[in-house]
Each structure stands twice: as structure tokens, then as C-alpha cells.
Amino acid sequence: MGMVAKGLLTGFVIVLPGMSGGTMLLLLGLYEKLMRDLSRLRIWSWIPFALGAAGGILLSGWAFAWLFETYSSIVAAFLLGSILASIKSVLGENYRPSFRRVAVFLIGLAIGVILAGTPISVVESAARPNLALLLIGGALASATMILPGVPGSSVLIIMGIYDNMMQALADLDWVTMGIFIVGAAIGIFGLANALDNIYSRYRATISWLFSGLILGAGRMLVPASFDTPGLLIIAAVTGFALVWWWGSK
């Protein structure tokens, strides 16, 4: 598989909540080389991969934006199942509880609930997030996205801008996407290496904190309508099973 194709697959996957770009890079055998090249700013050989990833992100974002608008409650249920299952891969081998881990988890849970806004949806009238939020969101999402087991898109859900970015991708809103890309570049080149070192050193504590954040922010994905409970349950279970299986890879 060529670098463009690998980038396309990675870009398509990382848009989905619960899916870790770092895990995808590991499966493709690219993770160690990427981290090594990023630390040395050797990026030219990664341009085909980046172009493929950009195409995958646009394609996946467009598809999900359309699904949001057409089947909002069903997609919300699917995404809720997805991010709940992602906790398994976030915790990884650090699943055993302790007083410190549970305390950190509860702190993350409280922060996630506080930060979570209205139920997620993609609407054309959605206001563009402010400049700082887009920059910070891009930096944090891109930096965490390349950590194995950590779903970077869940950062956008926690920050309440996932739906805005899906709509920006669907509408080809280059202003919103451009600001986000600047933040993403800052995250990849300025934070990724440092965050990788911090994450490796405090993996257990950060994993439990992030799991709490994900669970707390999950209330944004509770479907706004329960007119078709059977379909909602099927969608949630499908999302849960897909990400649970993905996390076992």
C-alpha cells in the first residue's frame, strides 16, 4: 500500500470519534518512523501521506456531516457507543483501579460534564467557533491524535467543536479549516513530541483522566429524540462493537 493510500485510510479513520490515529499508524507500521521524523522536522517524505490524509478527512467529514443532517439521532447514538468503547483502548493495560486513578477519573468526569455543551449536531446555521478555540482545538486534537489508543476527535467533542468541524468539512469552509490547520500544525510540530514523552511517563494517570473526560463529555451525544429506540440501540451497539474491536487491534 502506497503512502497516499495509507494517508487516505488514516484520514478517513481519525474523523470518527473513538478511532485513534496513533493506533492506525501502528497498524500501518508508520508510528515509530513518524515520531522520529517529526522530532527531526523531516517532513518531505510525508507529503504524499499528508495529501492522502487530507483527502480522507474531507471524504469522511462530508459523509458524516450528511449523515448528521439526515439521521442526527441515529448518528449521535452510534457516536455515543463509539466513544464509550474507546475508553477500553485509552486505558489499555492500565485498567486496574486504584485510589489515585479513580480520583483522577472523577476529576476528568466532572470537567467533561462541565465542558459538555448542548447535544451535538451539524446545522448550517452553527456559529463559527472563535479563533482561540479553533487554534487550541487543532493543536490538542492533532497532538493527541498520533498517540496510540487516544482518539483525537474525542478532544473536539470534549471542547464542543466536533460538530462545527464536521460542518466546516461538509461546506468546505476554508476559513474555519485554515485556522484549525494552523493549530494542528502547532500541535504536531510543537506539542506532539513533548506530549508523547509526558504520556509515556504518566500514561496511567493521563489515561484515567482522559477516560473521565470522554465519559463526561459523552452526554453531548445523547440523542435528542427517542422516536425510534430500537434503531438507536442498534446504532449505539454497532458503534460500541466497532471501536471495541478496533481497540483490540
Mind listing the pLDDT tens digit for each residue in 163-185? 788 878 877 888 888 888 888 88
pLDDT for res 103: 93
pLDDT for res 105: 92
pLDDT for res 102: 92
Q: What's the mean per-residue pLDDT of the chain?
A: 78
Q: pLDDT-based confidence at 143, cuts 50/70/90?
A: confident
Higher pLDDT, 162 or 105: 105
List pLDDT tens digits, range 207-227.
Answer: 898 888 878 877 777 776 777
Of 78, 60, 72, nearest in space to 18 by CA: 78
Higher pLDDT, 41 or 230: 230
Vertex 236 angle, CA 24 and 168, to 5°? 60
- Residues of the chain above pLDDT 70, percent: 84
Contact 87, 151 (CB under 8 A): no
Residues of the domain holding 63? 3-247
Is the model's pLDDT at 127 over the cut of 70?
no
Is the model's pLDDT at 149 over the cut of 70?
no
Of 110, 102, 113, nearest in space to 208 by CA: 102
Is the model's pLDDT at 86 over the cut of 60?
yes
What are the residues whose beta carbons fall under 8 Å from the beta carbon of 30, sequence distance 6 or more? 6, 49
Q: What is the DSSP letter of 221?
A: G
Give, in order, the Cα–Cα distances in Å from 60 to each of 17, 39, 57, 128. 12, 29, 5, 20
pLDDT for res 1: 57
Q: pLDDT-based confidence at 60, cuts 50/70/90?
A: confident
pLDDT for res 195: 67
Is the model's pLDDT at 125 over the cut of 50?
no
List own/partner pairs for 63-72 with CB under 8 A and 24 or more apart.
64/15, 64/16, 64/122, 64/166, 65/122, 65/166, 65/167, 65/169, 65/170, 66/170, 68/121, 68/122, 68/163, 68/166, 69/122, 69/123, 72/121, 72/122, 72/223, 72/224, 72/225
- Total number of domains in the chain: 1
Q: pLDDT-based confidence at 115, cuts 50/70/90?
A: low
The overall pTM is greater than 0.85:
no
